[in-house]
Amino acid sequence: MIEIQPENKERNSPPQSLPSQNLNTEAQNLCLKEDVKSITKVEDIMTQEKRKGASVLNATANIVKSGLGTGILFMPYGFMTCGVVLSTLFMIITGIICYYCWSILGRIIRQKEAEGGNQGAYKDLTLERVAGLIFGDKIRVLLEVITLIFIYGTCIGYTIFIQQSISELISNEIIIQVIVFAIYFPLSLFKRIQNLGIFSYLALTSFIFTITVIIIKSCYQIQNSPPVDFVVKIFDIQTLPLYFGVFAFAYDINGVITEVHASMEDKTKFDIVLRRYLIFSCSLAILIGMLGCFAFGNETNAVIFKSLGSMKGLGDALSCLYSFSLVASILLYGFPIVNCLDGLINKYIMKKSKEDKVNIIFMIFTRCLFFLSISFFGIYIQQITNVFNILGCVFSVVLIFIVPMLMFEKQRRLKERYVNQLSNAVQINITPEIKEEKQEKTPEAPTITENHFSLSENMSKQKFYFITSINYLVMIFGVTGGVSGLVSTIIDIQSQYS
């Protein structure tokens, strides 16, 4: 047996230059632990900051309201086209993969924030900032651009839906945008995303009421006027690529996920928020998809409101209610964009630091500029399904299925390299076992043999290989679906204009 003495408290030099006792103790601490769970372990040792922030309920409301947008209304058409079984399976599988990716993202962020220490050097990290810490500043800038383009496109999609939903009630497009702006503008001046919690509750209530009426109407249609000569599809894999982006976009919260995470008072409970959101969203999407498909059959429209009809004015009321709830989504999704514009103005025009407050005049300017631009596209772009499919196939795939996996693998490889360096140094100091009388061991002086060391290392590598295989499968799933969906969408657009 080789006894390893207690670790010296002073350890400031690199591992190669440590004394033998300290080096052996460091190797023992690292190698006897399961490295694959290292990110989770950081959460247990983090000191919880008791700061004022969003509760689990408040964060759940924000994230649910952001995720439950127009994508939920495309489910009946998707279920009718791809088949009820295939669509259900795909929604469940995609939800599980999204949870895995976002959970890893949250843990990586909390690990990096813990590395910043009590001084808060890495406080409230976003996806872009943590990627910059791992891969470099160029990757951070690239991801910031990708994220901003994605959430900007999402806001355009919501504006298109609002425009088309209320067009039969209010024919003048300018009046529609003025009404939406009157709701959006005063709320957009809030500087903290958690301040939108009350509005999210109100908008979420409107959304739930709207969806409830859709469910009741669908059930009534199935009971009294079921579709004639409608053959329900069960499994049509050929049509899935065209709707891959729509299904992926049904869960998408990339524009606000790290903002909500940063706003939480207890960030270690972020997985609870994720589970609640994904379970609720998946269940609701499957329910709406199946009911709408069986209720309207071949007459199912891409946007379910058009299948419902006027219902003696109730359909128009539902359109208004749902459009109102989408204004909250525009607020939450547009939050990072207007904050970015505020920061650029502060830095390059006002010549102030990030900590200085932005001039209210410039805040008004940035919010008006943002809204006017998405309103312009909302009026002149009509193909909303293709917009969401492209967003899902390109940006959602990169931000959900690729970036978190690459960050995890990079962190894992860096730690594995460090462990290997320590293990090689320890091997030099290990001597063959010498038969001698057993010595009493104390908790302060644990023992470790060469075989024990090798076994622990091998077990760790096996788990690492297993996790790596899962990560690459997730990336392959995202890339394959994204490419096939993008190609199918381009072909569909060409056929529409040919």
* pLDDT of res. 456: 39
| Spans in the chain with pLDDT lower than 70 | 1-53, 69, 117-121, 191-197, 199-200, 255, 303, 306, 310-313, 352-358, 382-385, 418-461, 496-498
Contact of 157 with 387, CB cutoff 8 Å: yes
Judge whether 338 lies within some domain.
yes
Q: What is the signed CA dihedral for 149, 151, 154, 158, rounded to 10 degrees?
A: -130
Q: Please measure the distance between the N-terminal and C-terminal CA atoms of the chain and give it in whole angstroms.
A: 79
φ, ψ at 409 (rounded to 5°): -65, -40
Q: CA 335 to CA 469: how far, in whole Å?
A: 36
Show the DSSP H helices in 68-124 as ranges: 75-82, 84-115
pLDDT tens figures, 322-335: 788 788 778 877 88
Three-class DSSP category at 447: strand
Judge whether 488 lies within some domain.
no
* pLDDT of res. 274: 92
* CA distances from residue 25 to 2, 11, 62, 433 in whole angstroms, order as listed: 12, 11, 46, 18
Which of 117, 69, 46, 135 lies closest to 330 in space, CA to CA? 69
* CA distances from residue 164 to 37, 109, 168, 335 in whole angstroms, order as listed: 49, 39, 8, 24
Judge whether 425 lies within some domain.
no
Q: CA 377 to CA 160: how far, in whole Å?
A: 8
Contact of 262 with 49, CB cutoff 8 Å: no
* pLDDT of res. 440: 45
Three-class DSSP category at 87: helix
pLDDT tens figures, 240-251: 887 787 787 778
Q: What is the signed CA dihedral for 209, 307, 243, 468, rounded to 10 degrees?
A: 20
Q: CA 250 to CA 170: how far, in whole Å?
A: 28
- Quick one: which H or E segment has residue 419? helix 403-429
Judge whether 235 lies within some domain.
yes
Judge whether 7 lies within some domain.
no
Q: What is the signed CA dihedral for 305, 491, 294, 164, rounded to 10 degrees?
A: 0
Contact of 464 with 412, CB cutoff 8 Å: yes
* pLDDT of res. 418: 67
Judge whether 453 lies within some domain.
no
Three-class DSSP category at 457: helix
pTM: predicted TM-score of the whole model, two decimal places: 0.69
Taking 3-state DSSP, the helix, strand and coil percentages for the chain, each rounded to the nearest 5, stand at 75, 0, 25
pLDDT tens figures, 246-280: 787 778 777 678 878 888 888 888 999 999 999 98
Which of 112, 135, 107 lies closest to 123 in space, CA to CA? 112
Number of domains in the chain: 1
Judge whether 154 lies within some domain.
yes
Which of 290, 256, 298 lies closest to 274 in space, CA to CA? 256
Domain membership of residue 119 as a residue range:
52-386
Judge whether 28 lies within some domain.
no
